[in-house]
Structure 1
């Protein structure tokens, strides 16, 4: 009986240790990947999560700016103190199952230095082994689309 208790206790401690590991969801939909990426940059201010939701190309860019404020200012070209995120994907839900790349419009609305700012960014995502990752962000709105 003591043997089984020891095994159960060891298994329980192992499972608790595994749950304490940092979990990053590599989202299976482009919408969730884009939302989690921008949420990491603006709301949780977690550059590591944004890094894990990025392609190698975007990772190099994020790495070069090294801090969340620099990423907001130079990569996304938009600073916020408080932001609300909304996605506009159009009617493309059926095509994402077979797509290898996707473009999603992210609508950012919030406050910066006492001013209300509403902006739009177009995000390019690629499907990397069934995980969507941010590859590029257009900072000039919807020009060229």
Structure 2
């Protein structure tokens, strides 16, 4: 392909860069409660990045999380479950139909997540019920519901 002027080259390069930047923003999907909750637990368990998890939590819950200082402490003390790094499978339990039943105007939602992984060679599966709230168009983790079986 031959360009007639340097402006055409420059325009093509800027178009390419804009497309590349907009496709790979790296921002988590917080437009739906399920993916936002999964991203939160990915940050805690697989990435072990408490700062990233704090961005996906409400300010009130973020203050609670920050008191533990590390993702490992949040795992063991607050969530009562440790897993080996990079080995936790996290998926949303969407019920019988395989889809979320949520109104567009909803401001609160409860998401059920299944965590499956190993710790020191032993397999652990855990079900977490996460209360999500919508703030400024983003779904954020507000709290975890207490496990009634513990």
Question: Quick check: TM above 0.5?
Answer: yes
- Structure 2: distance between partners of 1:73 and 1:112: 11
Divergent runs of 4+, >2 A: 1-9, 22-26, 89-96, 140-143
- Structure 2: distance between partners of 1:130 and 1:90: 25
Match of 2:147 among 129, 141, 144: 141
Shift of 1:24: 3.3
TM-score (norm 2): 0.76
- Structure 1: distance between partners of 2:118 and 2:10: 55
Shift of 1:84: 1.0
Match of 1:84 among 89, 105, 130: 89
**C-alpha contact 1:96 1:102 (8 A) present in aligned 2:** no
**Does 2:129 correspond to 1:122?**
yes
When residues 88 and 44 of structure 1 are mapped into structure 2, their CA distance, relative to the original with a 3 A threshold, is same
The equivalences for 1:102-113 within 5 A come to 102-113=109-120
CA deviation map 1:23-76 (0-9, x unaligned): 433510001100100011111111111110000111101110010110101221
1:31 maps to what in 2? 34
Q: Which has the higher helix share?
A: 1
- Structure 1: distance between partners of 2:27 and 2:142: 17
Number of corresponding residues: 141
**C-alpha contact 1:58 1:135 (8 A) present in aligned 2:** yes
When residues 111 and 94 of structure 1 are mapped into structure 2, their CA distance, relative to the original with a 3 A threshold, is closer
Structure 1 gaps, min length 5: none
- Structure 2: distance between partners of 1:58 and 1:122: 15
